[in-house]
Amino acid sequence: MNWLSDSFNARHQRAIDVADCFVPTEDFDTIRKNRHAIILGPRGSGKTTLLKMLTQRAYKRWSEQRGETELLPFTSIYVPTDIHWHHQLLYAKELLVRAPRFYRCSSTAAVNTCVQLALVESFLELIEIDPSLKEDQEVQLCNLLISSWGLGATIPKLPFVHLELKRRIVDIGAGLNRVIEDQLFDENIPKQERWFYEDFLAITDHAVSAFDACFSRSGENKWALCFDELELAPTWLQERLFRLARSASQKIILKLSSSPNPETTETGQATPSEDFDLIKLWRSSMVKRRQFCEQLATRVLVRKGYIDVSPVSFLGESISSDIEVSEEEDSAPYSPGSEEWRAIKEVASWDESLRSLLIKKDIDPDDPQPKNQSQKDAVLRKIKPVVFLRAKFSKIVDGKIRRRGRRASVGYHGATAVFDLSDGNPRRLIRIFESLCDAARIESHEGTKKVSQISQRKVLLNVAYLFKNYLERIPGAHLQVTMNGVNITLYQLLREIGKYFSSQILVGPFPLDAKTTFVVDSAVGDDVVGLLKVASYHGAIVRVDQSETEFMTDLRGGRFRLCYTLAPIFPLPLRVMGEANLSNALENIFSRVAADPA
């Protein structure tokens, strides 16, 4: 089973379907400004949705639904990175070591043709949306494009121009295969046609100018080239586009999306906030992330037939101590009988290390209420998440603290916890709520519209294991580590990190300053850093120390946490806490993996 159904991926959805499910955020307000923009985020974080929402058809649909008349300050050209071409070009590059110039011009031609296809599709959208655009104007435009692009005897209608460009893609692939089959050198390959050597930006500038001229649109009209999933594009294109964020044509602005760790972050002299907007989809605040999740979850509930049902009424409230809360939310007193007071007292009754810690801090374990604000802030608030996890997942066996079985207790439940477990990732959240709706129907015998905590536990564990299985199968998930020659997988690396933090939280001496984040220190090998890059791209780890305007040029020195989706497996609190060097967490991984490869 795939981690997420393809139907959740905006790449495969029609623009109007993307618009119908769209939940706007501040990131969308930023990207629709008349400025260059670069969006960074892991798979499933919504990059494609944001760019597709800039297309004419999607934006028009969304605006009409909201009763808005404001237009975008530019006309967008959505350019998806062709995954098929990504793999074919990588394969060809390995086999064309004797013909690097031919490979480069073929790669250039493929990119140019993909841009031309996107231009034609955008022109078709504009003509379809605006009935004032006449057929004779389309013929005039097509004649200009056919001549400029060297398409020969092509019927001057946009669908036929599009078809001829599709044939050109086939020709490029055939040319690559012929050179590979004949094992030709650059000097044995004749010079290609002119369109192999053209520049995609010049092609775009001419085409959009031709459209504006043929349809009598203002010459001041801006166009946005929206390149999606640049991490799959040739490296030369990534480098060129990042540099162009400062020097692109006055008529063309760039909207780019890529993984959290682009192959290149070389932007020349361009500076985030001065020359372009840098949008990091994982950097939204806790409050904004939950607001987005609530709106998206509500849409899923409506689509599944739960009308007038809020996520909170559907799942119940979360226990505040299980999740990250703001100062305002965390202001409840630790008075006798409160949720926190009862939990601390109960765990201290059997956990001697907690009892000793409280006594050392001048707090009565049998009546753990603070005597002053300092005790509340410096002790009780710090220990609260660990206390609640120990209450659920730890027990005393023969005088020692041991883990309970993962299914022995309902660990995570309630709307806020579910939002946090999705990590704000739209695809994950949709998957979770789809599954919760199915569980609600199975257990509903009297028309109730609420999911039990037991069913929530099953769904969240299942989603966590689906993500685990996905991480075990993705390309790059297996690596030969040089130390001791031990094979470790991406998930085994993440599991070791999770166990390291979880063991300290659940069974070790009670920590006053629990740790849930790790720093990629200098003692970590390059091979492990390579695995971490794969984890970051797929959203399995999240960086927590970057500013809004800083590019992630290297994982080393960065501070990360495991994604909350995996928390039910280990388990871990849903909050950012103290940090540890990653090398410390991995001290025993090689001997442990060798002894327990499962």
In the prediction, which pLDDT does 598 show?
Answer: 45
More confident of the two residues 447 and 46: 46
CB count in 10 Å sphere of residue 172:
23
More confident of the two residues 159 and 85: 159
Please confirm whether the linkage preceding 385 is cis (ω < 30° from 0).
Answer: no
Is the confidence at residue 296, as pLDDT, over 80? yes
| Average pLDDT over every residue of 293-320 | 90
Task: Specify the range with the lowest mean pLDDT, choosing from 272-276, 445-449, 455-459, 504-508.
Answer: 445-449
In the prediction, which pLDDT does 510 show?
Answer: 95
In the prediction, which pLDDT does 397 show?
Answer: 87
In the prediction, which pLDDT does 167 show?
Answer: 94
Here the tokens at position 98 are 């004797």
Is the confidence at residue 409, as pLDDT, over 70? no
Is the confidence at residue 232, as pLDDT, over 60? yes
Task: Specify the range with the lowest mean pLDDT, choosing from 153-157, 222-226, 261-265, 397-401.
Answer: 261-265
Is the confidence at residue 190, as pLDDT, over 90? no
For the chain, the farthest-separated pair of C-alpha atoms sits apart, in whole angstroms, at 89
In the prediction, which pLDDT does 447 show?
Answer: 56
Query: pLDDT tens for residues 324-347?
Result: 665 445 556 688 888 889 999 999
In the prediction, which pLDDT does 243 show?
Answer: 83
CB 114 within 8 A of CB 83: no
Query: pLDDT tens for residues 455-497?
Result: 999 999 999 999 999 999 988 787 766 655 667 889 999 999 9
In the prediction, which pLDDT does 485 show?
Answer: 63
Query: What's the whole-number average pLDDT of the chain?
Result: 85
Is the confidence at residue 131, as pLDDT, over 50? yes
Is the confidence at residue 249, as pLDDT, over 60? no
In the prediction, which pLDDT does 396 show?
Answer: 87
Please confirm whether the linkage preceding 571 is cis (ω < 30° from 0).
Answer: yes
In the prediction, which pLDDT does 594 show?
Answer: 47
Helix axes 490-506, 453-473, angle to 10 degrees: 140
The pLDDT-based confidence of 574 (bands split at 50, 70, 90) is: very high
CA 136 to chain centre: 44
Please tell me the distance from the alpha carbon of residue 563 to that of residue 421, in angstroms, as a whole number: 8
Query: pLDDT tens for residues 346-358?
Result: 999 999 999 999 9
Here the tokens at position 249 are 């044509």
Please tell me the distance from the alpha carbon of residue 404 to that of residue 391, in angstroms, as a whole number: 10
Query: pLDDT tens for residues 382-393?
Result: 999 999 999 988
Residue 331, classed as helix, strand or coil, is coil
Is the confidence at residue 582, as pLDDT, over 90? yes
More confident of the two residues 192 and 431: 431
In the prediction, which pLDDT does 547 show?
Answer: 65
Please tell me the distance from the alpha carbon of residue 156 to that of residue 108, in angstroms, as a whole number: 25
Is the confidence at residue 16, as pLDDT, over 50? yes
Query: pLDDT tens for residues 117-129?
Result: 999 999 999 998 8
In the prediction, which pLDDT does 269 show?
Answer: 45
What residues have CB less than 8 Å from 349, skipping those under 6 apart? 355, 365
Residue 293, classed as helix, strand or coil, is helix
In the prediction, which pLDDT does 324 show?
Answer: 67
Query: pLDDT tens for residues 410-444?
Result: 678 999 999 999 998 998 999 999 999 988 888 76
| Average pLDDT over every residue of 237-264 | 81
Q: What are phi and psi of 572, to 5 degrees?
A: -140, 155
In the prediction, which pLDDT does 449 show?
Answer: 74
The pLDDT-based confidence of 3 (bands split at 50, 70, 90) is: very low
Please tell me the distance from the alpha carbon of residue 272 to that of residue 270, in angstroms, as a whole number: 7
Please tell me the distance from the alpha carbon of residue 228 to that of residue 33, in angstroms, as a whole number: 17
The pLDDT-based confidence of 321 (bands split at 50, 70, 90) is: low
Among residues of the chain, what percentage have pLDDT more than 90? 48
